[in-house]
């Protein structure tokens, strides 16, 4: 139940922020909102999973890099990561996203060991580690799980 509480609180904050920005846009012409909704969903996922451990600019970079990763999943892509291909760009983008997620994991470990109250799912996971309820995970292992969660959450919100 605590995970739902975190999700709903974060979702409410992110949605209100984005809706306020959209409503304040002075452009009276119709605009394509697909990418705006993708960014809203990505920011919601990042904040639910990683809280404020990923700074705003890094979150925007992860969102942009995620788009490159998903482009490489098209059915007609050449399956080798030769320079310049979508798969090559996706591999580079994944490295950037994992770097930010590893830092988030490391920062959460420090904060939870100092007694911070969990405010995202990463904190909840780390608090389980700190309490000895689950084994220790490396920052990279945690980053890869978080990236998997992001893929699952983006896929679920697109359906």
Say whether pLDDT at 25 is over 80. yes
45-70 pLDDT, tens per residue?
Answer: 999 999 999 999 999 999 989 888 88
CA distances from 107 to 25, 73, 121, 158 (A): 35, 31, 13, 30
Q: How far is the first Cα of the chain from the last one, in angstroms, to the nearest whole number?
A: 24
**Local structure of residue 120 (DSSP, 8 states):** S
How many CB atoms sit inside 10 A of residue 35's CB?
Answer: 11
State residue 81's pLDDT score: 81
State residue 74's pLDDT score: 74
Angstrom distance (rounded) from CA 60 to CA 125 = 24
State residue 159's pLDDT score: 47
Place of tokens 């009276």: 28
Angstrom distance (rounded) from CA 156 to CA 154 = 5
Residue 46: Cβ-neighbour burial (10 angstroms; 0-12, 13-18, 19+): buried
pTM listed for this prediction: 0.86
pLDDT band per the 50, 70, 90 thresholds, residue 157: low
State residue 93's pLDDT score: 92
The residue that leads in pLDDT, 34 or 75, is 34
SS3 77: coil
Average pLDDT, the chain: 89
Q: Classify each residue of 16-33 as buried b or exposed e, where b means 16 or more C-beta atoms within 10 Å of its C-beta.
A: eebeeeeeeeeeeeeeee
Element (DSSP H or E) covering residue 128: helix 121-130
136-152 pLDDT, tens per residue?
Answer: 999 999 999 999 999 88
Q: What percent of the chain has pLDDT over 70?
A: 94
| Residue pair 121/6 in contact by the 8 Å Cβ criterion | yes
1-12 pLDDT, tens per residue?
Answer: 577 888 899 999
Max Cα–Cα distance, the chain, nearest Å: 55
State residue 41's pLDDT score: 92
Say whether pLDDT at 40 is over 70. yes
Structure tokens at 100: 């930010």
């Amino acid at each position: 139940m605590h995970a739902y509480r975190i999700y709903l609180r974060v979702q409410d904050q992110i949605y209100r922020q984005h809706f306020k920005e959209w409503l304040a846009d002075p452009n009276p012409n119709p605009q394509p909102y697909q990418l705006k909704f993708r960014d809203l969903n990505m920011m919601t996922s990042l904040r639910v999973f990683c809280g404020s451990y990923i700074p705003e600019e890094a979150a925007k970079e992860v969102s942009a890099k995620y788009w490159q990763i998903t482009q490489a999943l098209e059915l007609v892509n050449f399956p080798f990561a030769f320079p310049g291909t979508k798969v090559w760009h996706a591999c580079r983008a994944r490295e950037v996203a994992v770097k930010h997620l590893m830092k988030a994991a490391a920062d959460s470990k420090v904060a939870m060991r100092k007694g911070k109250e969990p405010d995202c799912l990463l904190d909840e996971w780390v608090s389980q580690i700190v309490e000895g309820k689950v084994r220790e995970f490396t920052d990279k292992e945690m980053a890869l799980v978080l990236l998997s969660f992001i893929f699952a959450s983006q896929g679920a919100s697109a359906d």
